[in-house]
């Protein structure tokens, strides 16, 4: 049995205004590429943030790599690209290379110093995303698409085993978007990196996802991509057109 990277049992989350997610029980195995879909406000971002401790869990449990999320500490095994660029303060006085290096520094103990090897890794990651030329620019000078790629570089620089991407391509032009999806697919296929991808991009899910999670404050569907595509119920709920876009692999 492949080992479990993410497990939730009856997970629920609430904000002040009340419950936004409940009764979520899912298991993500090593090497899965999970497409997370659902209407706006259906709790997708809340779920991924709850998994990594950015949003408190109000009921149920979550574990990461077999460890209850409350005692999980190996954050370097997880790369996270947030939906909102708000987490990236545009006034933050750092260059692109420094921002990506923060992803490595966060793993180190005092005194936190970058080695030669670390710097090579930062450079290679920037190169892979086509933003190496920008390495000396200040974060605040970049376009939204460039900032997104820098954040992705930060998520990838640790060579994570689990990648959590929350609407990662919203700010990317079509060409960069395709390169981005290819890169993620390659990490998944060749290195067995587990992927949780929140997106409205039906085409990308159709090409890459092995599992589907359809959320609407609770789990409407969780299963294999093939099961999702064969499900008449999903065709009714999700819409035959959307299902076709996703499932008819071009």
Residues near Mg ion (CB under 5 A) are 44-45, 83
- Contacted entry of Mg ion, ligand ADP, none for residue 46, CB cut-off 5 to 8 Å set by kind: ligand ADP
H or E segment and range at residue 83: none
Say how far apart CA 129 and CA 201 lie, in whole Å.
Answer: 20
* Residues in Cβ contact with 65 at an 8 Å cutoff, skipping those fewer than 6 apart: 3, 4, 5, 72, 74, 77, 161, 162
- Contacted entry of Mg ion, ligand ADP, none for residue 42, CB cut-off 5 to 8 Å set by kind: ligand ADP
Q: Closest residue to Mg ion, Cβ-based?
A: 45
CB-nearer residue toward Mg ion: 83 or 235: 83
Least distance in angstroms from the C-beta of 54 to ligand ADP: 9
**Do residues 178 and 198 touch, judged by C-beta distance below 8 A?**
no
CB-nearer residue toward ligand ADP: 4 or 23: 23
CB-nearer residue toward ligand ADP: 20 or 62: 20
CB-nearer residue toward ligand ADP: 94 or 171: 171
Least distance in angstroms from the C-beta of 44 to Mg ion: 5
Least distance in angstroms from the C-beta of 180 to Mg ion: 18
The closest alpha carbon to 177, from 121, 109, 129, belongs to 129
Give me the residues that bind ligand ADP (CB under 6 A), please: 15, 20, 38, 40-46
Least distance in angstroms from the C-beta of 176 to ligand ADP: 22
Least distance in angstroms from the C-beta of 22 to ligand ADP: 12
Say how far apart CA 226 and CA 190 lie, in whole Å.
Answer: 22
E strands, 38-133, where? 59-64, 67-68, 78-81
* Residues in Cβ contact with 109 at an 8 Å cutoff, skipping those fewer than 6 apart: none
* CA 75 from centre of chain: 14
CB-nearer residue toward ligand ADP: 139 or 151: 151
- Contacted entry of Mg ion, ligand ADP, none for residue 79, CB cut-off 5 to 8 Å set by kind: none
């Amino acid at each position: 049995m492949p080992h479990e990277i993410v497990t939730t049992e009856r997970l629920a989350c609430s904000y002040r205004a009340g419950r936004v997610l409940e009764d979520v029980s899912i298991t993500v195995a090593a090497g899965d590429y999970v497409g997370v879909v659902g209407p706006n406000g259906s709790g997708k971002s809340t779920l991924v943030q709850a998994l990594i401790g950015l949003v408190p869990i109000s009921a149920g449990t979550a574990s990461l790599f077999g460890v209850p999320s409350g005692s999980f500490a190996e954050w370097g095994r997880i790369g996270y690209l947030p939906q909102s660029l708000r987490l990236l303060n545009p006034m933050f006085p750092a260059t692109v290379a420094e921002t990506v290096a923060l992803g490595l520094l966060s793993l180190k103990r005092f005194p936190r110093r970058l080695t030669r090897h670390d710097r090579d890794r930062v450079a290679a990651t920037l190169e892979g995303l086509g933003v190496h030329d920008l390495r000396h620019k200040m974060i605040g000078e970049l376009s939204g698409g460039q900032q997104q790629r820098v954040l992705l570089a930060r998520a990838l620089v640790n060579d994570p085993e689990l990648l959590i991407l929350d609407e990662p391509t919203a700010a990317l032009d079509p060409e960069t978007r395709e390169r981005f999806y290819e890169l993620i697919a390659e990490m998944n296929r060749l290195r067995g990196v587990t992927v949780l991808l929140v997106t409205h991009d039906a085409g990308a899910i159709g090409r890459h996802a092995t599992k589907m999670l359809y959320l609407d404050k609770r789990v409407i569907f969780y299963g294999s991509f093939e099961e999702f595509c064969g499900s008449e119920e999903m065709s009714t709920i999700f819409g035959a057109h959307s299902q076709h876009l996703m499932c008819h692999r071009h």
